Amino acid sequence: MIYQTVQNNVSDRENVMIEARKALVVMAIEKTLLEVGRPTYHEVLAKLKKDYNCYLSDCYENPEYLSNVLNELYGQSRIAITASIKKYLDELSTQEDIANFIIKISE
């Protein structure tokens, strides 16, 4: 059997950094939701699963899922939740992927 190697424009080191930033985003979301309360955390997880068949880790690549769920569940109150997530990610907001995530969850 012949295996074809696909060249990737992203180095192994960059892949590790992306995965680390993804983990930090998920931790910021989890920490914020748990600070609001366990019922909120579980409600958001359930709605992500029901509406998008996804988990918090999928929100890094699809921040609009989280934004939509927060908007549907909490309306204007979501602003406090997104502000808290932004606060946890503030030091990383110079990274393009993190900056884009913050912008999209704030829409």
Q: What is the mean pLDDT, run by run of 10 residues, along the chain of 107 residues?
A: 47 86 95 96 98 95 96 95 94 89 91
Q: What is the pLDDT of residue 7?
A: 46
pLDDT at residue 10 in the model: 62
- 54 CB-contact burial (10 Å; exposed 0-12 / middle 13-18 / buried 19+): middle
pLDDT of amino acid 29:
97
Supply the pLDDT for residue 9.
60
pTM: 0.84
45 contact partners, CB below 8 Å, separation of at least 6: 55, 56
According to the model, what pLDDT value does residue 8 have?
Answer: 53
